[in-house]
Amino acid sequence: MSNNLDQLTDWLKEHKITEVECMISDLTGITRGKISPTNKFIAEKGMRLPESVLLQTVTGDYVDDDIYYELLDPADIDMICRPDENAVFLVPWAIEPTAQVIHDTYDKKGNPVELSPRNVLKKVLKLYADKGWQPIVAPEMEFYLTKRSEDPDFPLQPPVGRSGRPETGRQSFSIEAANEFDPLFEDVYDWCELQQLDLDTLIHEDGTAQMEINFRHGNALHLADQILVFKRTMREAALKHNVAATFMAKPMTGEPGSAMHLHQSVVDVATGKNIFSNDDGSMSELFLHHIGGLQKFIPEALPLFAPNVNSFRRFLPDTSAPVNVEWGEENRTVGLRVPDAGPQSRRVENRLPGA
């Protein structure tokens, strides 16, 4: 990124942007930040936010005091947030020409803030880069469409589709059931195309009005940014069509939970080959070590995959949700599934993270 943000400034002027949504992600994947007039954004080249925003919960509360003060300065000092010119997206649903820009966070000495999930990912990616490798990921995002409700205590209800009837029962992989919401998904795909999000297939999942949208495989950091933007896009498109979209892990009792299945492989940058496969096409030792590392460290990382009480309600047997960190080929009962694929496409699907 250039220090004077010339590339970003030119982009904002080219698209006649009048407002900029300056964003970071907290540890639960919620966007935090400020909305700034474009002139002010260009002049200030960033923003400041208190470190505490990274430790907010999904309800807007903060973590327990003993954890809070162990991780943060009691004075709640500011972070310096600098825009990433490679993480700039249009806001198609805004009335005025608006951009959303993802920022990186630093302390006053210029060091990356360690609590920032984006900085954590960058640190991990550097470990791979130092070995000449690049992780490749492909997220699958599950979510529910529901009827809009003003009462948070009232159970969520299925939405009404174009037929004028609410969906009843479960319609896994039904084309007709997905077509009930064609106008909504046409907007979603149009808006995502404007934002250059790499959407792939749309699937009706197991639950009532539960959907899944898959992303094309690619760079882990860029796809993490895309997921953050996609969630906003999906919710806004739903509101436009008078329904709601929720990525809550277990929004309804008696219905399957929603996950973010993450397909992952690693390529050698110099050769372009998938290091999970040997030259003869068999599983490599590195592939088995990768799975072993996931099995060892996922239990410690589970609070990131399941950051609240609701997240753990998803982990039930016989609901397509994993309750273990075992691995297996073509096996959806395990936490780490190895899909049937050729040597160059060999990967492991981490099925534990919630949506």
Predicted pLDDT at 2: 45
Q: Identify the CATH number of the domain in which residue 194 sits.
A: 3.30.590.10
Q: How many helices (H) and strands (E) does the chain have?
A: 9, 14
Give the range among 64-78, 262-276, 297-311, 324-338 with minimum mean pLDDT: 64-78
Reported as a pLDDT band with limits 50, 70 and 90, residue 318 is: confident
SS3 230: helix
Residues 211, 180: Cα–Cα separation, whole Å: 12
Count of the separate structural domains present in the chain:
2
Does 56 share its domain with 145?
no
Average pLDDT, the chain: 94
Residues 101, 21: Cα–Cα separation, whole Å: 6
Predicted pLDDT at 4: 63
Q: Is residue 126 part of a domain?
A: no
Domain boundary among 80, 113, 146: 113
Quickly list DSSP for 261-329.
Answer: EEEEEEEETTT--BTTB-TTSSBPHHHHHHHHHHHHHHHHHHHHHS-SHHHHHT--TTTT---S--EEE
Mean local confidence (pLDDT), 35-52? 94
Residues 142, 206: Cα–Cα separation, whole Å: 10
Does 88 share its domain with 186?
no
Does 142 share its domain with 224?
yes
Predicted pLDDT at 242: 96
Strand order in the sheet with 19-25: 31-37, 19-25, 98-106, 78-90, 47-50
Does 102 share its domain with 143?
no
- 223-254 confidence digits (pLDDT tens): 999 999 999 999 999 999 999 999 999 999 98
pTM for this structure? 0.94
Does 94 share its domain with 146?
no
Does 255 share its domain with 301?
yes
Q: Is residue 92 part of a domain?
A: yes
What one-letter code names the amino acid at 271? T
Predicted pLDDT at 225: 98
Mean local confidence (pLDDT), 285-293? 98
Predicted pLDDT at 76: 85
Predicted pLDDT at 1: 39
Does 85 share its domain with 155?
no
Domain span at 344: 133-350
Does 197 share its domain with 343?
yes
Q: How far is CA 35 from the centre of its chain?
A: 21
- 52-78 confidence digits (pLDDT tens): 999 888 888 887 778 777 888 888 899
Reported as a pLDDT band with limits 50, 70 and 90, residue 105 is: very high
Does 208 share its domain with 338?
yes
- 180-208 confidence digits (pLDDT tens): 999 999 999 999 999 999 999 999 999 99
Does 32 share its domain with 66?
yes
Using alpha carbons, select from 52, 109, 46 the residue that is nearest to residue 78. Answer: 52
Does 346 share its domain with 305?
yes
Mean local confidence (pLDDT), 307-330? 90
Predicted pLDDT at 3: 54
